[in-house]
Amino acid sequence: MATKIYESEVIYLVDDTPIYITPLKIKYLREFMGPFQKVKESQNDEDAIDALSVCAVIAMKQYCPEISTKEKLEDNVTLPTIYKILEVAAGIKISTKSEEPVKKQATESGSTWDTLDLAKLESEAFLLGIWKDYEELERSLSMPELLSTLSAKRDLDYQEKKFMAAMQGVDLDKESGKQNAWEEMKARVFSKGRTDNPKDIVALQGAAAKKAGFGIGLGLDYEDLTKK
């Protein structure tokens, strides 16, 4: 049974200082996505790595604010460690052993909000009354935390409605299709927009795989034949 909302790692600077890293809070992920767009527009691996280094500097605002420039990043962190930062921060997976271009690896695995109504999700979470404003919410939650919070909220709301309906002799489980839109949205998030079917194996990645107890990266791999 999954007990984690997200993956975390401990990385080490070149002087062996340990740094604990987790997915970026939404505040930093917003800033992160700007320079990540330049990765998509890069003409070669050198340009892509340069843009990814800028992304990593933004991530370090959350992990180690002292590393505030590309120069300080390059002085303190190796390239494989930068790739690990990007993977944990935003799900961008790059392997130094892969023969594929860095741009291709980064853009095909990185975060996207193209199919996600973030404002609507944040508005729903804000109704919990925990945060004084949206700025505080975005400083407090990462995307996995936001989705997990909303999932728990919706489950509780549904169970309450189910109980009240049962008191009236109505079985809401027979109308469970009302939950499909939420499940499909989560599937799109975890599959980086490659599927909207929560039963599709592509959706079982990251937090979704952890929750299910199996999936891609959790004892299972797959090959996308459409890209050949």
Question: One digit per residue, pLDDT tens: the chain, 228 residues?
Answer: 456 788 899 999 999 999 999 999 999 999 998 899 899 899 999 999 999 999 999 999 999 999 999 999 999 999 999 999 999 999 999 998 889 999 999 988 766 666 678 889 999 999 999 999 999 999 999 999 998 899 888 888 888 888 887 787 777 676 655 545 556 656 655 555 555 555 554 455 555 555 555 444 444 444 555 554
Same domain, 122 and 103: no
Angle CA 45–63–144, to nearest 5 = 85
Q: Is residue 74 part of a domain?
A: yes
Residue ending a domain, among 77, 109, 141, is: 109
- As given in the structure block, the two tokens for residue 55 are 């992304």
* pTM confidence score: 0.70
Same domain, 161 and 88: no
Same domain, 170 and 84: no
Same domain, 130 and 207: yes
Q: Cα–Cα distance between 50 and 74 in angstroms, integer?
A: 11
Same domain, 48 and 22: yes
Same domain, 124 and 217: yes
Q: Is residue 2 part of a domain?
A: no
Same domain, 160 and 99: no
Same domain, 170 and 102: no
- As given in the structure block, the two tokens for residue 135 are 């700025």
Question: b vs e for 42-63, b when ≥16 Cβ sit within 10 Å of the residue's Cβ?
Answer: beeeeebbebbbbbbbbbbbbb
Total structural domains within the chain: 2
Identify the domain containing residue 215 by its residue range.
118-227
**DSSP line for 6-32:** S--EEEE-TT--EEEE-SPBHHHHHHH
Residue ending a domain, among 86, 109, 132, is: 109
Same domain, 103 and 26: yes
Residue ending a domain, among 109, 128, 149, is: 109
